[in-house]
Amino acid sequence: MSNAADDIVLEARNVVKTYGGTRALKGVNFEIRRGTVTTLFGENGAGKSTLMKILSGVERLTSGEIVLDGEAVVFQSTTDARERGISIIHQELSLAPNLSVRDNIFMGREITGAFGVDFGEETRQTRALLDELKLPIDPDTIVSDLRVGQQQIIEIARALSVNSRILIMDEPTSALAAAEVEVLFGIIHELTARGVAIVYISHHLEEALEVTDHAVVLRDGAMTARGERSEIDLEWIVRNMVGENFDLGSPPEGALGEVVLGVHNARVLDPENSARAIVNGIDLEVRAGEIVCLYGLMGSGRTELLEAIAGRVPLAGGELTLDGRVLGPESIAERIERGIGLVPEDRQRDGLVQTMTVGANLTLASLKDCLVNGALSPRRERALADELIRDVTVKTSGPDALIGSLSGGNQQKVVIGKVLATAPRVMLLDEPSRGIDVGAKGEVFRLLASRAEEGLAVVYSTSEVGECLSIAHRIIVLRRGRISAEFGADATKEMIMAASGEAVAA
């Protein structure tokens, strides 16, 4: 057996990173070993992504050193790091939506021949990668036509197309269905068997434990714990991340009100195949103060159902009612005006404007409330932003901070705050915990529970069984566009997974 020290490919030694007066990393020591998976746990803002950006050449450290194969190195760019065998899959999608899958995979390192770019060879290699990842799509497909989960797999394919010795995966499964996660884990096992070192970052704690060989926990920019797989479990991770074990809460108590939202025999067509209904005859009623969870695998129709209620996609059949009144073919703006708000699955693309401040994003959907004599009042807008920051507990230096300066969990709270500012009767949330840590997830779920106690009707979708078994009064399981089961708060993980068509581990 080789000495563990001989297996160390890369080390971060006493790494410090400062942004102005903020110390994002406080003397972190971190090592990556050949042929193993090192999982990095920590809340949003703990420093995980900052450390990985330094290791992959995105950022430069303030002090400390990076040692690769026993030699101190300084990466000038991601290209420099990639040429030394280090690739990263970022948490937020970085694809060019107007380009094809093939062009995204080979962007910046095109395969050339005697007559320019060899598109035929790029297509062949792209198809081989997609086959390996079990994603049966045409390499010429435009990325913007893909669902978020499919785009996430394209990100993974792009990283795998580079022959890397070290592969950093920052939230690679945040938009993947269970079957896709299984495929990814198979790929990870194949890569480590070939000697590739994997750094894995995920807020899906139980899922991450399936592939972990070594674990490191960061908290407030410093390392709080490290352990081997045999030494750690879920309680160990949570305790070292947030200082205590906790759950996501329980359904709010109290009597429910009248039916607010009615969904009657709803049908939504598949945009890629109009002969197929991706939502097919769904009936659902949600009462004031009630929290309903929609659970299902990718393709179950949960996202399309929420988008149809919010007015993003049209109904092909059936009807929707709000407070007993039938909703017509209103625009999204009109649905918001009627009292329906949606927190979309992809907050970066659909929920936030990246070039705007925290305050501007928070007030974007409710600017009419900031008008004085028909003109926008900066004072009133500022007051509304300050109020929302307090109400949804956004951790920020102030409303003038750029939205990109916030952690994923705080960005999600901004999107939720923006919707709450419109005073909705019904709040729809599509995967509200995607890409946020366990601490921020708890804050989001507690916020939803408190608003439900005030009479808000809440419908949220999730692909995590643990999130069903938390604040929901009812759990609706979707399968192939239909409701396959309905459970109360006493449901079990096995019941939910079986109803969705997932295999339940023995």
Tens digits of per-residue pLDDT, 273-297? 788 899 999 999 999 999 999 998 7
91: tokens are: 């948490």
Residue 247 clears pLDDT 70, i.e. is over it: no
Where do the domains of the chain lie, and which CATH numbers do they carry? 4-242 (3.40.50.300), 259-339+424-500 (3.40.50.300)
Average pLDDT, stretch 36-46? 84
> In the sheet that 259-270 helps form, which strands lie side by side, from edge to edge?
273-287, 259-270, 317-322, 325-326
Distance CA 416, CA 428 (A): 10
Q: Which of 274, 287, 215, 233 is nearest to 452 (CA)?
A: 287
| Residue-wise pLDDT tens digits, 157-216 | 888 888 789 999 888 877 677 777 888 888 889 889 989 999 999 877 788 899 999 999
pLDDT in tens, 415-473: 999 999 999 999 999 988 877 777 778 888 989 999 999 999 999 998 777 788 889 99
- Furthest-apart CA atoms within the chain: distance in Å: 78
**Look-up: residue for tokens 């139980």?**
206
Extract the tokens encoding 405.
């300066």
pLDDT of residue 100: 95
- Strands (DSSP E) found in 436-501: 457-462, 474-479, 482-488
Q: What is the mean pLDDT of residues 397-417?
A: 89
Q: Which of 347, 324, 334 is nearest to 259 (CA)?
A: 324
Angle at CA 357, nearest 5°, toward 356 and 358? 130
Task: Identify which of 27, 28, 46, 38 has the alpha carbon closest to the alpha carbon of residue 4.
Answer: 38
Q: Label residue 240 by pLDDT band (50, 70, 90).
A: confident
Residue 427 near residue 457, CB atoms below 8 Å: yes
pLDDT tens for each residue of 309-334: 999 999 999 999 999 999 988 788 89
pLDDT in tens, 45-88: 688 888 988 998 988 999 999 999 999 999 988 889 988 889 88
How is 384-397 classified by DSSP, letter by letter?
A: HHHHHHHHTT--SS
φ, ψ at 415 (rounded to 5°): -60, -45
Listed residue (194, 212, 189, 187) closest to 202, CA to CA: 212
Residue 258 burial class via C-beta count within 10 angstroms: exposed 0-12, middle 13-18, buried 19 and up:
exposed
pLDDT at position 200: 94
Q: Which of 11-20, 30-39, 239-248, 370-379 has the highest mean pLDDT?
A: 30-39
Mean pLDDT of 13-20: 88
Q: Is 39 helix (H, G, I), strand (E, B) or coil?
A: strand
Q: What is the average pLDDT across 20-37? A: 88
**Mean pLDDT taken over the chain:** 87
Assess contact for 199 and 51: CB atoms under 8 A: no
Cβ-Cβ contacts under 8 Å for 231 (sequence gap 6 or more): none
- pLDDT for residue 41 is more than 80: yes
pTM of the model: 0.62
- pLDDT > 80? residue 376: yes
pLDDT at 33 over 90: yes
Calculate Rg over the CA atoms of the chain: 23
Q: What are the Cα distances from residue 272, in Å, to 47, 100, 145, 362, 478? A: 40, 16, 9, 34, 20
Place of tokens 């479990």: 233
Place of tokens 């799509």: 137
Q: Which amino acid is at 9?
A: V
Kindly report each contact of residues 126-135 with a partner whose C-beta sits within 8 Å and lies 24 or more positions away, as own/partner: 126/101, 126/102, 126/157, 126/161, 129/105, 129/157, 129/160, 129/161, 130/101, 130/157, 132/160, 132/187, 133/157, 133/160, 133/183, 133/184, 133/187, 134/180, 134/183
Q: What is the pLDDT of residue 250?
A: 84
pLDDT recorded at residue 273: 75
Choice among 16-30, 52-66, 477-491 with the minimum mean pLDDT: 16-30
Note the Cα 119 to chain centre separation in Å: 32
Other Cβ atoms closer than 10 A to 117: 13
Most confident residue range from 205-209, 221-225, 347-351: 221-225
Cα 102 to Cα 485: distance, rounded to the nearest angstrom: 40
Residue 128, pLDDT > 60, answer yes
**506 band by pLDDT with thresholds 50, 70 and 90:** very low
Element (H, E) at 455: none
Q: How many helices (H) and strands (E) does the chain have?
A: 16, 24
Res 20 pLDDT > 50: yes
Tell me, what's the pLDDT at 504?
41
